Amino acid sequence: MFYDQRMTVPDSPADLRAEYEADFATIVDDRGTEAVADETDLERETLEAVAAGESPALTLEQAARIQSLEEGTPDPETIVTMALEHLLLGMSTAVLDVDAVESHLEIDLDAKEIHQKIEGRAPMSFGEFVHIQYVIADGAP
């Protein structure tokens, strides 16, 4: 689950995202597109793309809404909080600051934006989350 503390990552951010999207696809397949759409307020087209193994644009909150439908999983707000807290914890463990994270990111975010997103003061896309999580976990000892 994407909100868990990561200490290792696959070979690339794309592989990490694919891992999470496979979890989302399983949830959508198990519950059905209509049911997930009703429970998450996400568009059917987005959920159909998730089920088809595509990478639709999702916010961190939208990803959390899907993940929260898995049995035994916290509510979406708790998932987002845990995910962001694990990023901060991971930065501490890897002894990384936002400047170090910025220097290793494959996407265009500056240190201030990273800081705001990790603290939850600015919206974060799921893609941004995955890239940031990848850099932090990849830097962990």
Q: How confident is the model at residue 51 (pLDDT cuts 50, 70, 90)?
A: very high
Contact 114, 132 (CB under 8 A): yes
pLDDT at 120: 95
Q: What is the arithmetic mean of pLDDT over 126-138?
A: 97
pLDDT at 37: 96
Q: What percent of the chain has pLDDT over 90?
A: 93
Q: What is the arithmetic mean of pLDDT over 80-103?
A: 95
What is the maximal distance between C-alpha atoms in the chain? 44
**pTM (whole model) above 0.85:** yes
* Tokens 């240190």 -> residue: 111
Contact 101, 90 (CB under 8 A): no
- Share the mean pLDDT of the chain: 95
Domain of residue 51 covers 1-141
Which contacts of 31-36 are long-range, i.e. CB under 8 A and separated by 24 or more positions? 31/69, 36/66, 36/69
Q: What is the arithmetic mean of pLDDT over 37-47?
A: 95
Indicate the DSSP class of residue 73: P
Residue 139 or 135, more confident? 135
* Tokens 């990111």 -> residue: 105
Number of domains comprising the chain: 1
| Angle between the N-to-C axes of helices 13-31 and 60-67, in degrees from 0 to 180, rounded to the nearest 10 | 50
pLDDT at 47: 97
| Residue 69 clears pLDDT 90, i.e. is over it | yes
| Residue 140 clears pLDDT 90, i.e. is over it | no
| Residue 141 clears pLDDT 80, i.e. is over it | no
